[in-house]
Amino acid sequence: MKMSATTVRRGLYGMFAGGLLGGVASAAMIVPAANAAPDTESCTFSAIASTSSTVSEQTSAYLEANPATDRALTEIAKQPMSEAQIAYRAYFADNPQVETELKAINKPAEDLTAQCNMPVRPTPISEALHGV
């Protein structure tokens, strides 16, 4: 069975969205005793979901506009996690503009992660950039 890049991407987004919800729920049970009091308006599930949705949509638009990057990152994502992290680092080292642009798209999620003390990784690319 041959799957298109869009099908693979949607499947990966779904996996990471499910992981995000599980991770956020786990973090919500573990993190309440954090030292700094975060802005509770921004650290709600609805705010996290909204930010994740925006980052996901912008990532999708970026990858659709840059098919070579989309293909390369899709192929990397098919590798085992340990190999994929090395391949992502190498890809971004060879393509610093792509890294800069994707980090800018993912900045709201990273900001929310820091502000709320919970991981917010709306896309596989978000997870890959976190390891870079």
Q: pLDDT above 90 covers what percent of the chain?
A: 49
Which DSSP letter does residue 37 get? Answer: -
Nearest to 123 by CA among 15, 7, 8, 6: 15
The 10s digit of each residue's pLDDT in 15-56 is 544 444 444 444 443 344 344 444 556 789 898 899 999 999
Number of domains making up the chain? 1
Residue 132 near residue 89, CB atoms below 8 Å? yes
Higher pLDDT, 80 or 14: 80
The 10s digit of each residue's pLDDT in 92-103 is 999 999 999 999
Can you give the pTM of this predicted structure?
0.66
Average of per-residue pLDDT values in the chain: 78
Full residue range of the structural domain in which residue 65 is found: 5-31+40-130
CATH number, domain of 80, equals 1.20.20.20
pLDDT of residue 77: 93
- In order, the DSSP letters of 38-101 are --TTTTSHHHHHHHHHHHHHHHHHHHHH-HHHHHHHHHHHTS-HHHHHHHHHHHHHH-HHHHHH
Q: The tokens of 48 are what?
A: 């996290």
